[in-house]
Amino acid sequence: MTIKPHPHRERRERHASRRRLWGRAKGKPLSAHQSNLVQELLPTLAALPGPLSHFGGAQSVSLEIGFGGGEHLLHLAKNEPNCGFIGAEPFLNGVAKTLAGITERELDNIRIHHGDVTEVMAALPKNSLDRIYILYPDPWPKPRHYKRRLIQEDFIAELYRVLKPDAPLYFASDIISYVDWALARILRHGGFEWTAESSSNWLTPYENWPSTRYEAKARREGRTPHYFTFIKA
């Protein structure tokens, strides 16, 4: 008799050998308060295993991939207390900052994965998420590093798998080469509809957008943020 491995295990093993998708994993030393949050609070908010089991009564569950300092994730969770939010971020300092925000705002509807988002994706069942946000991902601007960009054909297929039908995928970037790269690949997949009707659609921030420090830096340096919305067909 042949014993087949569990599908979640298969996906985890497949993603374990993936390319590295991020640069630094840690910046300046954490404060004592931040270190304490990472040691004591983070394990209680860990997204894995069973990323959906934390939100049994939630109206919806969303995933933010690479939440940075958590400005957008915290804003959503505060304004939508009946919804669940999963955040994945490999940069420890961003995780620590977000944990501090969770305690300050007394939020109980966020779960955090400190690490590679593909580990979360592998544990999610088909048609399980109501929204996915990919906001200002690392652009890896040098051509020799393009293989490290998050938006690749296999990853788009995973985004499609875990999103519910008619659910939105949000992608924002200020790097034109990455904008073109992502737009071409997401549309080529064939499973997503691009909702824009004119340039004003992708140059206008999302409704109830709180802005982020990455967006502010882009504008200071003269780069134009682009905001795309795709709907799973």
Portion of the chain with pLDDT greater than 90, in percent: 84
The number of beta carbons lying within 10 Å of the beta carbon of residue 28 is 6
29: in domain: no
134: in domain: yes
- Preceding peptide of 49 cis, ω within 30°: yes
CA 136 to centroid of chain Cα atoms: 10
pLDDT at residue number 172: 97
Closest CA relative to residue 76, chosen from 68, 88, 89, 86 = 86
More confident position, 18 or 129: 129
Please state, rounded to an integer, the average pLDDT across all residues of the chain. Answer: 91
- Expressed as residue numbers, the domain containing 207 is 35-232
205: in domain: yes
pLDDT at residue number 28: 82
Render pLDDT for 192-227 as a digit per residue (tens, 0 to 9). Answer: 999 999 999 999 999 999 988 889 999 999 999 999
At 88 the three-state DSSP class reads strand
Instruction: Please say if 138 is a catalytic residue.
Output: yes
227: in domain: yes
Catalytic residue among 138, 154, 166, 180: 138
pTM of the model: 0.88
C-alpha distances in angstroms, 155 versus 57, 62, 161, 201, 226? 29, 17, 10, 25, 21
pLDDT at residue number 25: 59
**Is 13's pLDDT higher than 90?**
no
28: in domain: no
**Is 39's pLDDT higher than 70?**
yes
13: in domain: no
Strands 168-173 and 226-232: antiparallel
- What CATH code is carried by the domain that includes residue 59? 3.40.50.150
- Number of domains within the chain: 1
17: in domain: no
pLDDT at residue number 2: 42
pLDDT at residue number 213: 86
Closest CA relative to residue 129, chosen from 157, 80, 165, 156 = 165
143: in domain: yes
